[in-house]
Structure 1
């Protein structure tokens, strides 16, 4: 019965299906054939090759006096702005006639001109009581441009006194109309607008005088703008009561005194170096600031302390994060200038302090990443200096300590006093347990660039790339000084000294551009994916075949009575790159991406065009 029921259901279903089928309809018209599509572009290998060409150069003719230092770009006037500290003015350099091909002689080119943008010797600012006071102005340290507003950070004549920020409205020709001056902290060394233009952030370095008779606190000033008008007073993020620690393992009572804050920071790896009795806020010296794309957070390099501070611009707080150590047993370093040739070796027991100068930031997958140029710096004042050579540690007339068996073996194997003994290291971290035996050396700078996530966890470091690439291309000229053509001169110090960095996008890829202060190298890395950064290009706009010598610590760096000779400096090319500014193709006067570089020793501003090959 079951089989018959299933058979009946099957037949019924088949008959029902047949009864629902209609006759086939007439054939519809044939559709039109679409137009041929645009051929796709050929795929490109990664990293993509870039062509770097000098398309313009401005020369002040002033050498060794920071005559071309910090650079910016003003889109409306199609001009580069550069601080000329030697004459305490800003050079406005029109770029509207830039070519799209390289100039004939990149090293000695002088195709660009400038007009002087000057500012007064004193200004009126509001004090905390709202009264007008007049303050004298010293040297301009930094500039920033947002749309048509220019901000200039100017120190006081005495650097330990409070400085000011001067605001100007820029015209379509780059001339300025004074808007307002706002008082800020001591030694405003760098400033930047937030991406939304609502604030200007100022890194007040607060350096001591050389005798430590005055040592102001480091701080960050925050100047709000409303409808383009700056506030009369700056708010301050201090390095005392505004300092926070995000760990849930800590309560506010755990860091409510200077001694507690110092202990926590030292345990985390922040380096303190200074005379006894200085405070955390005096020892932490803000250097350079970069801001998140939403203008809510910022990061400030605390170079000497080997740290970066995370600024919350809503809560007006700062959290200081130590950057850790670079293990030179994992990378190769040239540590001596005595052999005058590139010579690399891994160094167990030797560590680098990253100590970034310039930092920049960009977005990847909705998160912010910070790029740092790991220059390195020491405190070296008359009243206190941490600067020593490794040889000084075991010198009976200096520190009179003993190396561990392993470190002594390395010291001997590298050539002793003429080898590892030449390396500049910090005395602040020598023999922390004070047992007389030194197991490790701590050198200044990472000789690299790094990428950090927004919480200051390192995700990439270029390792020993800079030294190896520069040596491969420049040979014995690598690690040269920027005051003379003397190769290997800086190997015992901080190498080529990565000083300046900026990031920018070219044809959908994000690149980091890093300039080395001493040797003049420009390195380009594809950092689109911060976890897969890759070297792309190297360029050096310098002539190592000419002979010159200058001393930037002399009142006249070219003083012949002191044995200096600057006759051939105009032929030497770019010396001492201090800042880098990327200009996107959409903003560029010649339609191609540009790099503007300020070179403080040669007093030149060089404009590079950077395009895909």
Structure 2
């Protein structure tokens, strides 16, 4: 049972105003009647005076010049038809069997990362239909061939000497023309990983070229638009006891005539960091302590155990590149920041994203009532904390769009994540009088008390009292300018649109059909975002990880955006339960039941790839979405009505 909604509207401009008609001439004055003659003695009556002659009509004024016709307006938003035209199922649930997706035009194939089996699924789309499949939620009409990679590779170190690296899981994939790049972490997650390059054939088969060493935990890889560089976000995530916390970094690999360089360049989070503020001199940020202090003052969130540094705390997540390939933008999710990368001098500037005031919007913050219930909370703020980024150009300038998922640091050795109701018991901290009033008025421990917040912010004077509360994610998507200034945010649209359509199923988890059970965490969790052009309009496509909602916005003009459509390819009547935190997510011994999960539809959308009509095998625009929990890859046809 797939659910969808579309809005339509139009806005043609008025024609120009016609010129004014000339003023008509005045009528001439009528002459007065003459006086009667004086009566004579026994004489005849006097003769009456003659009437005056009518005045001559005035000359008509000249007609004004006709005004120019107005320019035709462009419809905002255009209604879109969203249809499932194909779907691939791995049959693996809760193990990230369909995660990051890409498209190879030469072979008309979708490539999908299958982390469960540590391989790439190559899904041929040559015979994709142009009409919706019969059962969009359970369709399994597409098949795949396997693309595998070795467990160890030889790379060159900085001195050009060969060394062997043991590899772990594949995390990301990128394709430029017929060149494929795979981001694979090391066998130990905190050690350096590698980028594996392949040349793709017309059948989508790969011939290995070389491997290039990257940083710790290469989590995302992408090509610049001109194909001359490969950029890698090395997350540098710590192990659970924080005994090994590598620095985050950006790997840059030069590409010449489709051949990658043997050795990469690294953009670090220390000496390669710059600050554009003219009030600062270079010696104001020439140590890690100074950099961390400046960033924290600007609003960058740091959260970690004693000995934490800016370079260790900053964890690059996802990269998007400007159309001219001169700049790149990387999400620093846990830090609530974006890094602006200059691809000419290979420097990075970190910009804090600020906070979302939930006193001006409404959110559902409790999962215990199991119904949609939206309220504003004064003194509560959201950290945008984007995961996926995309970018596009308007009026010659770059704009970044972000899926504001949110994320916390929650490890055995350190956690910043607490429910509001536990702040006093767990940390010995209280709420300010104003926040306590909000807490009590909203219902206390079973309502606002359920919401998870960070303990790293809110007690600015460190007096044991929270004056403000900060929760994870903004439950929205945003548009930022090239300097990371906020241009647009979708506010509380996602929660309200989803609840209006899904009812009590909104904010459901992706592990069972139970509504409202993510409201106390980060809501629907906008995870994946993509931008694409259809006709003369530019659209943003945003997928929520938990309930599986797909939202479409017209962002042609970033200063005049509009909601267009909603789609959800899930059947909420199917009874299932799995736990993606288990080694075997469907283990019956743990009370799990995946008997009918294949009928539940798409669970946990993780990534989106837009295919333009020009590049599409069907000549219609397509969306490819990888769903990590259901292990499915779904292909949508998206056309203007």
- State the match for 1:7 in structure 2: none
- State the match for 2:117 in structure 1: 87
Correspondences of 1:456-605 after superposition (within 5 Å): 456-605=484-633
Supply the distance in 2 between the matched residues of 1:453 and 1:45 (Cα, whole angstroms): 24
- State the match for 1:612 in structure 2: 640
Residue from 317, 322, 345 that aligns with 2:375: 345
- 2:463 maps to 1:435: yes
Supply the distance in 1 between the matched residues of 2:547 and 2:158 (Cα, whole angstroms): 45
Deviations 1:566-605 (A, max 9, x none): 0111000000000000000000011100000000000000
Distance 1:44-1:318 versus aligned 2 partners, 3 A rule: closer
Does the residue aligned with 1:337 lie in a helix, a strand or coil? coil
Supply the distance in 2 between the matched residues of 1:522 and 1:283 (Cα, whole angstroms): 32
Does the residue aligned with 2:503 lie in a helix, a strand or coil? helix
Does the residue aligned with 2:495 lie in a helix, a strand or coil? helix
Supply the distance in 2 between the matched residues of 1:405 and 1:208 (Cα, whole angstroms): 37
Supply the distance in 2 between the matched residues of 1:44 and 1:210 (Cα, whole angstroms): 53
Supply the distance in 2 between the matched residues of 1:322 and 1:484 (Cα, whole angstroms): 35
- State the match for 1:46 in structure 2: 76
Q: CA deviation at 1:43?
A: 7.3
Deviations 1:456-499 (A, max 9, x none): 00000000000000000000000000000010000000000000
Q: Where does the alignment leave 5 or more consecutive residues of structure 2 unmatched?
A: 1-71
Q: CA deviation at 1:432?
A: 2.4
- State the match for 2:145 in structure 1: 115
Residue from 226, 233, 245 that aligns with 1:196: 226
Supply the distance in 2 between the matched residues of 1:407 and 1:428 (Cα, whole angstroms): 17
TM-score, structure 2 length as denominator?
0.88
Q: CA deviation at 1:46?
A: 1.4
Does the residue aligned with 1:135 lie in a helix, a strand or coil? strand
Correspondences of 1:142-161 after superposition (within 5 Å): 142-161=172-191
Deviations 1:519-549 (A, max 9, x none): 1000000000001111000000000001100
Q: CA deviation at 1:405?
A: 1.4
Residue from 265, 279, 282 that aligns with 2:309: 279
Supply the distance in 1 between the matched residues of 2:473 and 2:73 (Cα, whole angstroms): 39
Correspondences of 1:176-325 after superposition (within 5 Å): 176-325=206-355
Does the residue aligned with 1:80 lie in a helix, a strand or coil? strand
Supply the distance in 2 between the matched residues of 1:44 and 1:97 (Cα, whole angstroms): 34
Does the residue aligned with 2:197 lie in a helix, a strand or coil? strand
Supply the distance in 2 between the matched residues of 1:140 and 1:574 (Cα, whole angstroms): 22
Q: CA deviation at 1:433?
A: 0.9
Greater helix content: 1
Q: CA deviation at 1:301?
A: 0.2
Instruction: Decide which structure has the larger Cα Rg and report it.
Output: 2
Supply the distance in 2 between the matched residues of 1:436 and 1:246 (Cα, whole angstroms): 35
Supply the distance in 2 between the matched residues of 1:401 and 1:599 (Cα, whole angstroms): 40
Supply the distance in 1 between the matched residues of 2:323 and 2:347 (Cα, whole angstroms): 18
Supply the distance in 2 between the matched residues of 1:401 and 1:286 (Cα, whole angstroms): 32
Does the residue aligned with 1:253 lie in a helix, a strand or coil? helix
Deviations 1:34-86 (A, max 9, x none): xxxxxxxx976311000000000000000000000000000000000000000
- State the match for 1:125 in structure 2: 155
TM-score, structure 1 length as denominator?
0.92
Q: CA deviation at 1:139?
A: 0.3
Supply the distance in 1 between the matched residues of 2:460 and 2:519 (Cα, whole angstroms): 26
Deviations 1:356-386 (A, max 9, x none): 0000000000000000000000001111111
Does the residue aligned with 2:559 lie in a helix, a strand or coil? helix
Deviations 1:267-323 (A, max 9, x none): 000000001111101000000000011111100000000000000011110000000
- State the match for 1:326 in structure 2: 356
- State the match for 1:174 in structure 2: 204
Supply the distance in 2 between the matched residues of 1:514 and 1:261 (Cα, whole angstroms): 34
Q: CA deviation at 1:412?
A: 0.6
- State the match for 1:23 in structure 2: none
- State the match for 2:408 in structure 1: 378
Does the residue aligned with 2:291 lie in a helix, a strand or coil? helix
Supply the distance in 2 between the matched residues of 1:186 and 1:573 (Cα, whole angstroms): 35
Supply the distance in 2 between the matched residues of 1:435 and 1:197 (Cα, whole angstroms): 53
Supply the distance in 2 between the matched residues of 1:437 and 1:174 (Cα, whole angstroms): 59
Does the residue aligned with 2:168 lie in a helix, a strand or coil? coil
